[in-house]
Structure 1
Amino acid sequence: LVMSATIDAEGVAGFLSSASESKPPVPVITAQGRSHPVDIRWQPPRGRIRMDDHVAGLVRTALDTEPSGDVLVFLPGMGEINRVAERLDNVLAEVHRLHGSLPPSDQDRAISPPTPPFRKVVLSTDIAETSITVEGVRVVIDSGMARSPRYDARTGMTRLTTIPISRASADQRAGRAGRIEPGVAIRAWSRLEHGARPPQIEPEITQVDLAGFMLELAAWGISDPAELPFLEPPPPRSVEEALLLLTRLGALDDRYRLTETGRAMVGLPVHPRLARMVVDAEGDGTLACILATLIDERDPMRGRPDEVPVDISLRVRAITDRGFGHQALVGPAVFRLRDRARELCDRAGVGWGPVDTDRIGPVLALAYPDRLAVRRGSPGRFQLRIGTSAFTPPRDTLAPEQFLVVADLDGRRKDTRIRLAAGIDPADVLTVFSHQIDHIVETVWDGDRLVDRTRSQLGALVLEETTQRVAPGAATTQAIIEKIRERGLGILPLIAKASELRTRVAYLRETLGEDWPDWSDQNLRDTLESWLAPYLREPRGLDDLKRIDLVTILRSQLPYPQSVDIDRQAPTHITVPSGRRRRVDYSGETPTLTVRVQDMYGSTKTPLIGGKPMTLDLVSPANRTVQITSDLAGFWEDSYQEVRKEMAGRYPKHSWPQDPVRAKPEVKG
């Protein structure tokens, strides 16, 4: 017999029918019960009013307009309950809080009849939806929200998230107003929004951490949940994450079978992380049981997030020393936790004894090896082993610590708040995580200097880092080669001077064939190992490249005949009729000689390179181009007289003869 007010009856019946094929279909029996009509009213907030203010306003209106009956208000959690209660401090009604953390006496007061002539307002979580009946309610005000656990496999945390309730939950809540007489249900959202809500609540198995569940299955010899019939099967990704965690904790072997450690963990009524801590704590058994209880139960410290200290050691001392050194500690909660910790010690076969609070960090790391955090920058800013950033309030006592072991986070993926943690000494970090720390030595660039960096690393955390200057060798040479390849040949010294040699060779390769080498940028970058590496025997950084003679290195790559022929077939300079030596430019399509007009008087022959006429860039005394030609004789005959007319007026101190072919070249500057 399966009973519920909000069950998906057809779905459950279909599942049970399929599980028992030989039997007739499972019947569905619907009983309406004795309930009175409930008037549903839609009252969404207007504008940007806060939900707390909106709900408080709905309560005040209901007390004014509804002549009788108590008011039950559904809110997501304690924070909202407290804020709405503050806004109702002057109403003519008894205002009670109702949630699972209240002691039984306070819960009894919340559900008991009010003192005449007052009415009662009960501000409740969803505990009043199914678990507790509040008598005398005729008005229900529903915020439409609830806290629901959501497991994030990336952070390994189950986070309580505020989500819209399902339509079935809304109906269940509204029904509380019609138990004794016709009632009213006021929903703080619109009819349109209601239609978009899911019909049923999402099954918890699809939302939570399955590590404990998978450990129980392993104890029964089951490693694959698919072997069992589920009304709602667990998500494969969540199963994989749970199995991975249990394997890392040593509870399962690589075939997902229960180990001896896992067998000891199964009998402990705490999360597998905490069970592993208790099993593995050896001489710190009492401390491990206290820590497991503190983490598994509700925090005994109450208050605003910035006011509640992060340090778990304060809670441990309260339990072991019977002292309440912090105003946020709640005495009854501490006593209850002490009793629970003793019970866990009994279950684990650990005697209750004194604890060493200096061991809190190392012991906690047994449960949360993946949540080591190191401080980065200012106090309170930390980086977790998985790479996520996290923080504590800057004035928290743990904010200056170098290392923390984090027991609880708020679950956000980015810049998550640390809610519960313990400091751990650097020496203990090296001891506890010795088998997981990677010691990495690599050659890296520090500006233009190569250094050997030695890094002790745990996951994404760099625990220690030192650098020293590299020694010359093959690794150093290769690092310099890669840097040149990355930044280009321009970082090499004398590259400009070498460019002249490279353009001469490029010209000869173009005109005479591929016997001449390819010294293009791309090919030189691709072949650095063959032509440059042999000369990099001592450098430790880019500054040391200044000693390299790039022109000599490149010339040495030419075979002997080419090293001689290059100066004959592609000379760097040519002597012109005036007797001056002029540099040849090979960067264009043809070799070019920049020369003053006066230097070429008396000659009709265009200089040749490789048997072909050069390009003459004929310039004025001010070195401005007046004519570009490969036919000097044609220039004298055709264009020269026009040039002479224009230039003679500008440069009267220089010779501009009528017949340049018979004139002597001008030698003066």
Structure 2
Amino acid sequence: MALPIDAVLPDLVAALDAGPNAVLVAPPGAGKTTAVAPALLDRPWVDGRKILLLSPRRLAARAAAERMAELAGEPVGRTIGYATRLDSKQSAATRILVVTEGIFVQRIQADPELDGIAAVLFDEVHERSLDSDFGLALALDAQAALRPDLRLVAMSATLNGDRFATLMGDAPLIESEGRSHPIEIRHAPRAAERRIEDDMAATIRKALAEESGSLLAFLPGVAEIERTAERLDRLPTDVILHRLHGSLDPAEQRAAIAPSPAGFRKLVLATSIAETSITIDGLRIVVDSGLARRPRYDRAAGMTRLVTERASQAAVTQRAGRAGRQQPGVVYRLWEAAATAGLPRFDPPEILEADLSALTLDCALWGVADPASLAWIDPPPAAAIAEARARLTSLEAIDADGRPTAHGKAMAALPLPPRLAHMMLRAAERDMAPTAAAVAVLLSERGLGGSDADLDLRLRRWRGERGKRAEGARQLARRWLSLVKASGDADESDLAACVALAFPDRIAKRRSASGEDWISSGGRGFRLDPTSPLARAEWLAVAETQGSAAGARILSAAPIDAREVERLFADRIETKRTARFDPATGAVEARREKRLGAIILSSGRDEAANAQEIAEALVDAVRTRGLGLLDWSEGATALRARALFARQHDESAPDLCDETLIASLDDWLAPLVSGQRRLPAITASAFDGLLGWDGRQAVDRLAPEHLGTPAGSKHPIDYAAEGGPAVEMRPQTLFGMTTHPMVGGGRVPLTLRLTSPAGRPIQTTKDLPGFWAGSWASVAKEMRGRYPRHPWPDDPAAADPTLRTKKASQRP
């Protein structure tokens, strides 16, 4: 049966005969995945070499190879084969090899010239996975420098081919029609308060009752698939239920997409793995939850977490297309029709949201110091590259200049993420490589050994499993083990140590009695189900977490002994002497702490505390909390007020404002606290150094400390008084004074607060001569009656000043 892609294959072949690159846009169902590679095999430029077809997923890679082999009438592994991490079928006769994108990145890193390869076909490039974008960038770089004859084809199922054509040197863009039967869209909005599994199960039952044919249901994750399956007991006798997700055995995955037995139909509960690249025979019903679970890298926490979110418009369109691949179909969507327009148009490219540690290391090995210099559809964010470099430096993979170290080169030679590669190498040095290989497999293959948070338990379960997937995982562990020239069986007692080597920043110590709250060496807080057996441990080597940076949930971990932590990370454990100010006591508490990152291993009073550090802590406390922390004497407060007044009237006068004193704490406060453990009282002499002799003279001239009276008495001037500088005295001390006293260089009149002999206020004035000539008469008249023993002359300006009573003044 002819496929829509057949109509444009001659154009694609002609384009590749004429030049090295092409872009093919073909909607789902057109047949691009299985038709393009065989159509190129007999071209002269192939010349007996292989064609690589890149697939985004292992399931799709196997399915594509098996379908092409079936069409060719051959078994898989002869002319057409495949290679994934856990499974491979190929031979010396293989000419078309379907590989996952990650396998291709490893291959081109090891052999930049791609010896023996004539063409590389990038399928489903619209999905924008990190490995696909990176693989294409490396292939274009290799083509430009080493292999101008290498053919590269980007194949997309959506109409975004223009960007790829521009990226690939204005490559020819060939577009194919799709083949899709009519699809009826039905909406069955779910209630927000109900669990998705309840509504999915109800809608699936309804669809099976209303329509014929097999049914494919899209759910966000494995947990939702299992819970939905639990709600689908007592299905019609002609319905066979299958699950389809990445953690299943290959045999179970094949069964899910294989044709149904005669007289039966399928119900397949799947994740987004079924959106593209596979065809399920007999399928004509799709039930779409509208949700997807995707990895999102939290740069603040340094963690990748799975997030359940609304699927994009492109994704739900792809899902709906599954129903019309072979016959007219029906799609049930669990949301309102109007809500589709509000979905995001596309899924964001992985390169914009992923941990770029592996990519950064691979670029360093490729000889590219700046990954952004390669050809990208979307260049990697600068902040993500900086964060990746910091992590690689901590793993000793790159040096300060970003060049790969010997350890980094060894890490990159392993087909593992940087953390796990680092673990394998360091574990091999400690004779723990078999356990490290087992840990790497457990953390790489979801669901292996179950989904329990306890990695010890998962390792034991995996050892007891005898399925094809479990055996394939064991073969994978042995292969990784051979790469570090080691052999043997995993030792459970080494498991936690291996996890710790991979994730040193996730070593965690319990900080609540229930075991619910944990603090990690990297400073992040973790949370754990208090009913978990792991909650009884004092220390955990944490591998995987999920959730916010402030309280990520522990997904997998292993108990570890404190002594093992200290043995593994002796070079990272620091002894810190801290001097912390206690505002309640006004003193510094000196302590000695042994720390692994943010975790305090031990602490106590530091009897040998450094006096200089204590003094600095006292000064820093004032710098942070302000001058109000100090105990100011009256003299110091008065001097500051005088200096501030003087500064207002002469900018050359010394400045003792808050900002200046805070900025100069090291000059005036540091000498006062030297040898002290608490803040001392601050006297006026504290500012001698700041003022100097000239400064002191300027303050005394502009803001004298006292007012001297004709009677010979001295009275302190209050420069902080409301209304300006003020002084208090009895009027008798001013008799004979005919001018008003001034400060501020003779520009500011003092406020005279005149009091009775008993100290009670009788008059306030800023004009003494006016007071003598004016209201003094009435004041004196009243005072003569109250205080007859004291002089109250009619003309105080001409009277003799006195501090004595009339009788005392008459004595010789």
Q: TM-score, normalised by structure 1?
A: 0.75
Change (3 A) 1:657 1:25: closer
1:126 aligns with 2:263: no
Q: CA deviation at 1:483?
A: 4.5
Task: Please give the alpha-carbon distance, in whole angstroms, between the structure 2 residues aligned to 1:61 and 1:29.
Answer: 36
Q: Check the 8 A contact 1:318/1:334 in 2, yes or no.
A: no
The SS at the match of 1:79 is: helix
Which 10-residue stretch deviates more, 291-300 or 160-169? Answer: 160-169
Matches for 1:1-12 after TM superposition, within 5 Å: 5-6=27-28, 7-8=156-157, 11-12=160-161
Q: 1:55: which partner in 2?
A: 200
Task: Please give the alpha-carbon distance, in whole angstroms, between the structure 2 residues aligned to 1:555 and 1:149.
Answer: 62
Q: 1:495: which partner in 2?
A: 633
Q: 1:143: which partner in 2?
A: 289
1:274 aligns with 2:409: no
1:349 aligns with 2:493: no
Q: Check the 8 A contact 1:392/1:417 in 2, yes or no.
A: yes
1:71 aligns with 2:206: no
Task: Please give the alpha-carbon distance, in whole angstroms, between the structure 1 residues aligned to 2:215 and 2:548.
Answer: 35
Listed one character per residue, the Cα deviations across residues 271-306 of structure 1 (whole Å, up to 9, x for unaligned) are 232222222213112111111121111244546xxx
Which of 487, 502, 506 is the equivalent residue of 1:367? Answer: 502
Which of 313, 321, 325 is the equivalent residue of 2:456? Answer: 313
Matches for 1:13-28 after TM superposition, within 5 Å: 15=164, 19=168, 25=172, 27-28=174-175
Give the letter for the 1:446 counterpart.
D
Q: 1:407: which partner in 2?
A: 543
Give the letter for the 2:435 counterpart.
L
Task: Please give the alpha-carbon distance, in whole angstroms, between the structure 2 residues aligned to 1:243 and 1:507.
Answer: 56
Task: Please give the alpha-carbon distance, in whole angstroms, between the structure 1 residues aligned to 2:477 and 2:441.
Answer: 6
Q: 2:761: which partner in 1?
A: 625
Give the letter for the 2:457 counterpart.
L
1:185 aligns with 2:331: yes
Q: CA deviation at 1:408?
A: 0.8
Q: CA deviation at 1:453?
A: 4.2
Which 10-residue stretch deviates more, 166-175 or 464-473? Answer: 464-473
Which of 569, 581, 591 is the equivalent residue of 1:433? Answer: 569
Q: CA deviation at 1:399?
A: 3.0
Which of 364, 375, 391 is the equivalent residue of 2:527? Answer: 391
Structure 1: 5+ residue stretches without partners: 323-328
Which of 184, 190, 199 is the equivalent residue of 1:39? Answer: 184
Give the letter for the 1:361 counterpart.
A
The SS at the match of 1:399 is: helix
Q: Check the 8 A contact 1:501/1:551 in 2, yes or no.
A: no
Change (3 A) 1:551 1:421: same
Which of 166, 174, 177 is the equivalent residue of 1:30? Answer: 177
Q: Check the 8 A contact 1:98/1:123 in 2, yes or no.
A: yes
Matches for 1:226-625 after TM superposition, within 5 Å: 242=388, 245-252=391-398, 259-281=405-427, 282=429, 283-302=431-450, 308=452, 310-318=453-461, 337-353=473-489, 355=491, 357=493, 359-378=494-513, 379-410=515-546, 412-447=548-583, 448-468=586-606, 476-477=614-615, 479-484=617-622, 495-499=633-637, 536-542=673-679, 545-546=680-681, 550=684, 583-587=715-719, 589=724, 592-595=727-730, 605=737, 616-620=752-756, 623-625=759-761
Matches for 1:74-85 after TM superposition, within 5 Å: 74-85=218-229
Q: Check the 8 A contact 1:607/1:614 in 2, yes or no.
A: no
Q: Check the 8 A contact 2:287/2:333 in 1, yes or no.
A: yes
Q: Check the 8 A contact 1:371/1:405 in 2, yes or no.
A: yes
Q: CA deviation at 1:416?
A: 0.8
Which 10-residue stretch deviates more, 86-95 or 444-453? Answer: 86-95
Q: Check the 8 A contact 1:471/1:540 in 2, yes or no.
A: no
Change (3 A) 1:555 1:616: farther
Q: Check the 8 A contact 1:362/1:424 in 2, yes or no.
A: yes
Q: CA deviation at 1:73?
A: 1.9
The SS at the match of 1:80 is: helix
Give the letter for the 2:226 counterpart.
N
Change (3 A) 1:479 1:58: closer
Which 10-residue stretch deviates more, 68-77 or 171-180? Answer: 171-180
Q: CA deviation at 1:157?
A: 3.5
Give the letter for the 2:633 counterpart.
I
Task: Please give the alpha-carbon distance, in whole angstroms, between the structure 1 residues aligned to 2:477 and 2:202.
Answer: 44
Give the letter for the 1:425 counterpart.
D
Q: Check the 8 A contact 2:740/2:769 in 1, yes or no.
A: no
Task: Please give the alpha-carbon distance, in whole angstroms, between the structure 1 residues aligned to 2:690 and 2:400.
Answer: 60
Count of residues paired in the alignment: 637
Task: Please give the alpha-carbon distance, in whole angstroms, between the structure 1 residues aligned to 2:660 and 2:373.
Answer: 62
Which of 98, 112, 131 is the equivalent residue of 2:243? Answer: 98
1:108 aligns with 2:245: no
Listed one character per residue, the Cα deviations across residues 296-317 of structure 1 (whole Å, up to 9, x for unaligned) are 11244546xxxx3x33223334
Change (3 A) 1:86 1:559: closer
Listed one character per residue, the Cα deviations across residues 215-266 of structure 1 (whole Å, up to 9, x for unaligned) are 5666666666667656666666555555554454344556666554445444
Change (3 A) 1:188 1:533: closer
The SS at the match of 1:352 is: coil
Change (3 A) 1:656 1:54: farther
Give the letter for the 1:144 counterpart.
G
Q: CA deviation at 1:419?
A: 0.9
Listed one character per residue, the Cα deviations across residues 435-485 of structure 1 (whole Å, up to 9, x for unaligned) are 344444454323321244444455555544444367685555555455456
Task: Please give the alpha-carbon distance, in whole angstroms, between the structure 1 residues aligned to 2:480 and 2:588.
Answer: 56
Task: Please give the alpha-carbon distance, in whole angstroms, between the structure 2 residues aligned to 1:290 and 1:519.
Answer: 68
Task: Please give the alpha-carbon distance, in whole angstroms, between the structure 2 residues aligned to 1:220 and 1:285.
Answer: 27
Task: Please give the alpha-carbon distance, in whole angstroms, between the structure 2 residues aligned to 1:477 and 1:260.
Answer: 46
Which 10-residue stretch deviates more, 622-631 or 500-509? Answer: 500-509
Task: Please give the alpha-carbon distance, in whole angstroms, between the structure 1 residues aligned to 2:661 and 2:241.
Answer: 83
Give the letter for the 1:108 counterpart.
A
Task: Please give the alpha-carbon distance, in whole angstroms, between the structure 1 residues aligned to 2:561 and 2:768.
Answer: 87
Q: Check the 8 A contact 1:42/1:189 in 2, yes or no.
A: yes
Listed one character per residue, the Cα deviations across residues 52-92 of structure 1 (whole Å, up to 9, x for unaligned) are 3333343343344x253343322222222233334443554
Change (3 A) 1:624 1:27: same
Q: Check the 8 A contact 2:639/2:684 in 1, yes or no.
A: no
Q: Check the 8 A contact 2:248/2:469 in 1, yes or no.
A: no
Q: CA deviation at 1:133?
A: 3.9
